[in-house]
Amino acid sequence: MAYLNYTNVGIRGLAAAVPVKVIKNYEYTRYFPAEDVKQVVDKIGIIERRFTDDKTCSSDLCYAAAEKLLSDLSVPRDEIDLLIFVSQTPDYRMPATSILLQERLKLGHQTIAFDINLGCSGFIYGMSVIYAMMERSGLRRALLLDGETRSKVYSPKDRKTAFIFGDAGVAALIERDDSFGQSFFSMNSDGSKENLIKMDAGGYRNMSSLETLKEKVVDEHGNIRSDEHGYMNGGDVFNFVIKEIPSDIKNIMQYAGADNTAIDYFVFHQANDFINTYLAKKLKLDLSKVPSTIAKFGNTSSVSIPLTIVSELQGKLESRKLLLSGFGVGMTWASAVINTGNMFISDLVEI
Amino acid sequence: MNAKFIELFKETLEIEEDIVNTETKFRELEQWDSLAFLSVIAMIDEEYDIVIEGNDFKKLVTVNDLIEEIGKRKA
């Protein structure tokens, strides 16, 4: 039971950037017959996604979001004392991308900067780490940057993953203010399920080689990928979700002393429409309180929660209470109950 | 419970014809696929508050097996 609570720290502003290139799923038929594609797309509810070009990284999307946010809020760069970059698609294996972003954003050398390597739960983990550090007296403002280019992770010839993932980056400015009140976090991990979503090679356990880059047929359905593509066992992931997520959400709400009526919006990780419809039904939620960007941005891993807030809740966040819940690769899952104070939302950036 | 379960089962798989009974081997239905499998697991969880995990589900063959499994876990 890893529960945490913080007082008077919160997200002052949030911005998101997505690539301009739209992938229309019904027309994504290069490797699969249109009829099969339609069947899959109808079920998962992902109509469009955004893909970067070859040259654009997660950090570029985060940089664009951060520039927009800092300029919208007129934040002096030398007042940012902490920068965390959450991603599993960094620029390099070393150095950490957060350090490169410190320089690109022209932040001072006093800035604490490091990366967090987590998937779909990552934004909530990042918030918690920053809230904990910001509760101390030394730091003025913090930036949480969270970006993913999952389009580069999965094989377009593997139907289990080909239609699901998209790219995006966000920037959150985190400050101390009385209006934020108390926030509550639950964070969890289960490494026994490491094989549910994984990329087998390219790290130091199985280093990159000609062999690991070879595409091959991996199952009886004829799906094709290399050992350096990610894979996902969707059925087992769903089983994991129904076992762990509703109870985690109930527990954090109990810990926060909030019931369904006290929460204004439930922002779930946008895995697919199937999972989120299930969660809403299971938790007996009013669907008007469950914003969704699954249809237009697909699954952007850790970015999906803040991206959904930017895309769907701009102008609706004055003194609101949000429930956030993210779950995925690891497996790892996290939930939070937060107050928005007067959270500012920038217009969505397209690059 | 049988009639109600069969109705829910048909709704979940979007089957309109009268082709499902307790003896139906559900994997042989034209509508059965990996997403149908997940939909049935979700339906049983929503309706009966019971989670049948993948490995246990593999052992079940007929609609009656599903009904019995639910009954056993409810008891």
Query: For chain A, what is the largest distance between any 2 Cα atoms, rounded to a whole number of angstroms?
Result: 59
What's the pLDDT tens digit per position in A89-103? 999 999 999 999 999
Query: Is this prediction's pTM over 0.90?
Result: yes
- CB contact A244 to B (< 8 Å): no
User: At A179, is the secondary structure helix, strand, or coil?
Assistant: helix
Provide the token pair at A326: 């993210």
Inspect the interface and report whether the beta carbons of A234 and B38 lie closer than 8 Å.
Answer: yes
What's the pLDDT tens digit per position in A8-60? 999 999 999 999 999 999 999 999 999 999 988 988 899 999 999 999 999 99
Sign of CA dihedral B39, A122, A311, A168: negative
What's the pLDDT tens digit per position in B28-45? 999 898 788 888 998 998
Cβ-based neighbour number of residue A247 at 10 Å: 10
Provide the token pair at A129: 């780490």
Its ipTM equals 0.74
- CB contact B11 to A (< 8 Å): no
Inspect the interface and report whether the beta carbons of A281 and B46 lie closer than 8 Å.
Answer: yes
Question: What is residue A103's predicted lDDT score, i.e. its pLDDT?
Answer: 98
What's the pLDDT tens digit per position in A158-205? 999 999 999 999 999 999 999 999 999 999 999 999 999 999 999 999
- CB contact A247 to B (< 8 Å): no
Q: Which residues contact A177 (CB under 8 A, 6 or more apart)?
A: A8, A9, A10, A12, A341
Give the residue from chain A lying closest to B38, CA to CA.
A235
The CATH number of whichever domain residue B31 belongs to comes to 1.10.1200.10
Range of the domain at B28: 2-74
Give the residue from chain A lying closest to B41, CA to CA.
A239
**For chain A, percent of residues with pLDDT exceeding 90:** 92
Superfamily in which the A1-351 domain is placed by CATH: Thiolase/Chalcone synthase (3.40.47.10)
Shortest distance between the Cα of B41 and any Cα of chain A, in A, equals 8
pLDDT at A1 over 70: no
**For chain A, percent of residues with pLDDT exceeding 70:** 100
Provide the token pair at A72: 């919208």
Inspect the interface and report whether the beta carbons of B41 and A239 lie closer than 8 Å.
Answer: yes
Inspect the interface and report whether the beta carbons of A236 and B37 lie closer than 8 Å.
Answer: no
**Gap between the Cα atoms of B11 and A153, Å rounded:** 36
**Gap between the Cα atoms of A307 and A61, Å rounded:** 12
Residue B54 has its nearest CB partner, among A43, A239, A274, at A239
Rounded to the nearest 10°, the torsion over CA A88, A94, A95, A100 is -50
pLDDT confidence bin for A262, thresholds 50/70/90: very high
Inspect the interface and report whether the beta carbons of B41 and A238 lie closer than 8 Å.
Answer: yes
Which of B11, B33, B35 to mutate to probe the A interface, most A CBs <10 Å? Answer: B35
Inspect the interface and report whether the beta carbons of A239 and B35 lie closer than 8 Å.
Answer: no
Shortest distance between the Cα of B37 and any Cα of chain A, in A, equals 8
User: Pairing relation of β-strands A182-189 and A197-199?
Assistant: unpaired
- CB contact A41 to B (< 8 Å): no
- CB contact A235 to B (< 8 Å): yes
A158 chain-B contacts, CB cut-off 8 A: none
What's the pLDDT tens digit per position in A270-289? 998 889 989 998 999 999 99
Inspect the interface and report whether the beta carbons of B46 and A235 lie closer than 8 Å.
Answer: no
- Cross-strand bridge partners of residue B25: B62
State the DSSP code for A154. B
Compute the mean pLDDT over every residue in chain A, rounded to the nearest whole number.
96
**Gap between the Cα atoms of A199 and A301, Å rounded:** 15
Shortest distance between the Cα of A29 and any Cα of chain B, in A, equals 20
Closest of A331, A340, A341 to residue A122, by C-alpha? A331
A240 chain-B contacts, CB cut-off 8 A: none
- CB contact B54 to A (< 8 Å): yes
Inspect the interface and report whether the beta carbons of B51 and A234 lie closer than 8 Å.
Answer: no
| One-letter identity of residue A19 | P
Question: What is residue B51's predicted lDDT score, i.e. its pLDDT?
Answer: 86
**Gap between the Cα atoms of B1 and A100, Å rounded:** 62
**Gap between the Cα atoms of B49 and A27, Å rounded:** 38
Inspect the interface and report whether the beta carbons of B46 and A282 lie closer than 8 Å.
Answer: yes
The count of domains in chain B is 1
Q: Which residues of A24-50 are buried (b: 16+ CB within 10 A; e: fewer)?
A: ebeebeeebeeeebeebbebbbbbbbb
Residue B45 has its nearest CB partner, among A235, A274, A282, at A282
Closest of A87, A89, A80, A47 to residue A170, by C-alpha? A87
Which of A223, A278, A283 to mutate to probe the B interface, most B CBs <10 Å? Answer: A278
- CB contact B49 to A (< 8 Å): no
